[in-house]
Structure formats: structure tokens, C-alpha cells
């Protein structure tokens, strides 16, 4: 789906991203980011800390938000700011829905700035994370 960012009006829904993290992805993300916290690779350690299973890393949650935005933007723009807060642990084997809305659009000399609100929910509708972003698109 091609988006005309020159004529985009707010509010505008960003196409959702749905995916299901698995144990391997969570482990490999920890390895790639040098995150040695045992709750991301040892179910026994996660259970000992009161978690239901290993958990998705906060950084991977941010990566999912970035993926949603770059999938939508393509080569038309860039992420200028991205922030998020994790409110609930996400675990492997449960589908996550990453969604967003362009909430405000401001013109600037050489393009437009798009402010976005972001969310991740699990298959049960629980809020996993919320976020915000500022995108820049060229004219």
C-alpha cells in the first residue's frame, strides 16, 4: 500500500504489524544486543522472578515500533524520535499487534513532520507497551 505523505491528513491509522515472538528470537536478540539478563533465555530463572516464561526485551519492543514505522514510511522519510514504555511483559508464543496513529502533521520548509502514538497489545487485548514517535518526510 503506497501512502502519499504529501497529502496525508491526521488522524491516520498506520497499518498494523502482527507477529509472534518465539524463544529463539528472544534468545538471539539478547545475544545480538549483549543482554545477559537470564529472564530472556532461562524459563526457570523467569519463573523464579514471578514471570510466566522468558520475556521479550524492552529493546525488542522498541524495535517492533521502529519496524512498524519504517514499513509504513519506506524510503519516504525517517524516524526522528521514538520513545516507549513497557507496561506488561510479553512472552513467546503469544501474538502481538503493533499499531499506530499519525496524530498531528506539521509542515516545515523542506517537508512534513508527523507525530504518532503507538501501541502494542497481545492476543488477549492486554496493553504491552505504548509509545510515541516523530517522523520526518521530505516534500
Residue 87 placed within a domain: yes
Residue 27 placed within a domain: no
Strand partners, 99: 119
Residue 113 placed within a domain: yes
- Give pLDDT tens digits along the chain (139 positions): 568 888 889 999 999 999 999 999 988 988 888 878 778 878 888 889 998 888 899 999 999 999 999 999 999 999 999 999 999 999 999 999 999 999 999 998 888 999 999 999 999 999 999 999 999 998 7
- How are beta strands 96-108 and 111-122 bridged, if at all? antiparallel
Residue 123 placed within a domain: yes
pLDDT at site 1: 54
Contacts of 44 (CB under 8 A, 6+ apart): none
CATH number for 89: 3.10.129.10
Q: Decide: 48 and 65 in contact? Cβ < 8 Å.
A: no
Number of domains composing the chain: 1
Residue 129 placed within a domain: yes
Residue 72 placed within a domain: yes
Does the model's pTM come out above 0.75? yes
Residue 124 placed within a domain: yes
Residue 84 placed within a domain: yes
Strand intervals (E) in the chain: 12-19, 77-86, 96-108, 111-122, 127-138
- Give residue 112's domain range: 12-21+57-138
Amino acid at each position: 500500500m503506497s501512502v502519499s505523505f504529501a497529502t496525508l491528513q491526521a488522524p491516520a491509522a498506520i497499518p498494523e504489524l502482527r507477529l509472534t515472538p518465539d524463544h529463539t528470537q528472544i534468545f538471539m536478540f539478547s545475544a545480538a544486543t549483549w543482554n545477559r539478563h537470564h529472564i530472556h533465555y532461562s524459563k526457570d530463572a523467569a519463573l523464579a522472578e514471578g514471570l510466566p516464561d522468558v520475556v521479550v526485551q524492552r529493546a525488542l519492543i522498541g524495535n517492533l515500533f521502529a519496524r512498524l514505522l519504517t514499513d509504513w514510511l519506506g524510503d519516504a522519510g525517517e524516524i526522528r524520535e521514538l520513545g516507549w514504555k513497557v507496561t506488561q511483559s510479553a512472552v513467546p508464543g503469544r501474538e502481538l499487534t503493533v499499531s499506530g496513529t499519525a496524530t498531528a502533521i506539521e509542515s516545515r520548509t523542506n517537508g512534513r513532520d508527523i507525530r504518532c502514538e503507538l501501541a502494542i497489545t497481545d492476543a488477549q487485548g492486554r496493553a504491552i507497551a505504548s509509545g510515541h514517535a516523530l517522523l520526518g518526510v521530505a516534500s
